Amino acid sequence: MMKKNVFFLLCLILVGFQSSYAQEVPKEPENIISPEVNADRTVTFRFFAPKADTVQVTSDFLPPVKVMSRFGLVDGPGTINLTKDKNGLWSYISKPLDSELYSYSFVVDGIKTTDPNSPYALRNSASMTNIFIVDKGRADLYKTNDVLHGTVTHNWYPSAGLKMNRRLTIYTPAGYEQSSEKYPVLYLLHGAGGDEESWAAHGRAIQILDNLIAQGKAKPMIVVMPNGNVVQDAGYGYGKDGFYKPQFLLPQSMNGVYEANFMDIVSYVEKTFRVKNNKENRAIAGLSMGGFHTMHISRYYPNTFDYVGLFSAAIMPREDATGKVYSNLDETLKVQKNNGLKLYWIAIGKDDFLYQANIDFKKKLDGIGLKYEYLETGEGHIWKNWRIYLAEFAPRLFR
């Protein structure tokens, strides 16, 4: 009797162990697809985590929440819970989404993580955030479509002033290698936290140019995307400093040194590529810090660029902006105006923390009589707006 009971108890323990074991580690399903953009423009997110208590997706397609940032209170990505099935696979289906390039992360029991089923991700400061595209609308411009493609090159130019060889990203339009034609050049500058990879990565500049040119909406042009951080020879991971932790704003990026040495870049490009090297065939544009650089470079070399684009430009006065480059602002803007230029283009989102600074700058230009075109969009200081601005700006160039 005793033995029978012990055996029975053992059986119970074993059954209990087995079922709890089976419950604890279901097998990971084969070939989980995440994210899946469905035909009805909803998107399904999937994450296998049988032991997790909560799995969430945080993304800019969800209703935004106010978050404290270095720019004050801004709209941040919303967060929503996934639902777990009996096999430990969590999922969530979004509402139908507008055509856009979205970013997202999973949050598993409070820890933010990338999607293990998608390698498509972009760097945000030190960490990676996954991306997906909902097409059949605006974001068709951001896709690699079946059109003729330009060439993307990563060159190193010698900067005599910065005493470094420095890395550039350069786009040459489809047909460049097969022709002997000369092309106009757009210099396209990134913002704080970015580098020479940013416009191609977050900005989808390669796809936007390929598509606009293929559609006949933009002239074939060379696009030069330099690195605006003067302490770097190259973006994070590409330079002599190896793999180090990215930070938001590198030192000396807005103290005049970059602007004062910008002609090293123009000179290298004009020696190395087949370009039309005159004012009518040079454009310069930049976002945020790159808009600040653009404004200053274009008036510091006031007879160099016929097209100027300020995208959410960080043109507020800065305490460290004391160097020679930043002096005589009004006078040099007047010189720039008097030299003549074909387009001075300003764009900003209504919710941008730099909105008022741009309104103030427009008033300054009004006072000087420097004519500009102005685009005001919704939302704030985000890549969604900068992709839109590039797609609006590029077709206006070299006409």
Binding residues for a copy of itself, rule: CB under 8 A, are: 31, 33, 49, 51-52, 108-114, 116-121, 123, 126-128, 131-133, 135, 143-146, 148-149, 151-156, 165, 167, 174, 177, 233-234, 236-240, 242-243, 245-246, 272
Strand ranges (E), 173-327: 185-189, 222-225, 282-287, 307-311
Shortest CB 167 distance to a copy of itself, Å:
8
Residue 331 neighbours by CB under 8 Å, 6+ apart: none
Closest CA to 196 of 249, 233, 164: 233
N- to C-terminal Cα separation, the chain: 99
DSSP letter for 18, please: H
DSSP letter for 316, please: S
Shortest CB 169 distance to a copy of itself, Å:
10
Cα of 168 vs its chain's centroid, Å: 16
Rounded Cα–Cα distance for residues 106 and 151 (Å): 34
| Residue whose CB is less far from a copy of itself, 117 or 377 | 117
Shortest CB 249 distance to a copy of itself, Å:
14
Position 231, amino acid: V
HEC secondary structure over 29-48: CCCCCCCEECCCCCEEEEEE
Position 146, amino acid: D
Quickly tell me which residue has 């103030």 as its tokens. 360
Shortest CB 257 distance to a copy of itself, Å:
20
Rounded Cα–Cα distance for residues 367 and 380 (Å): 26
Shortest CB 17 distance to a copy of itself, Å:
18
Shortest CB 80 distance to a copy of itself, Å:
19
| Residue whose CB is less far from a copy of itself, 155 or 255 | 155
Shortest CB 259 distance to a copy of itself, Å:
25
| Residue whose CB is less far from a copy of itself, 33 or 160 | 33
| Residue whose CB is less far from a copy of itself, 48 or 307 | 48
As to burial, measured by CB atoms within 10 angstroms (0-12 exposed, 13-18 middle, 19+ buried), residue 285 is buried
Shortest CB 384 distance to a copy of itself, Å:
17
Shortest CB 111 distance to a copy of itself, Å:
5
| Residue whose CB is less far from a copy of itself, 145 or 339 | 145
| Residue whose CB is less far from a copy of itself, 179 or 356 | 179
Helix (H) or strand (E) holding 190: none
Quickly tell me which residue has 């479509």 as its tokens. 145
| Residue whose CB is less far from a copy of itself, 101 or 388 | 101
Give the pair of three-digit tokens for residue 30.
């084969």
| Residue whose CB is less far from a copy of itself, 164 or 295 | 164
| Residue whose CB is less far from a copy of itself, 46 or 299 | 46
DSSP letter for 96, please: P
Contact assessment for residue 304 and residue 282, using Cβ atoms and an 8 Å cutoff: yes
Cis peptide before 116 (omega within 30 of 0): no
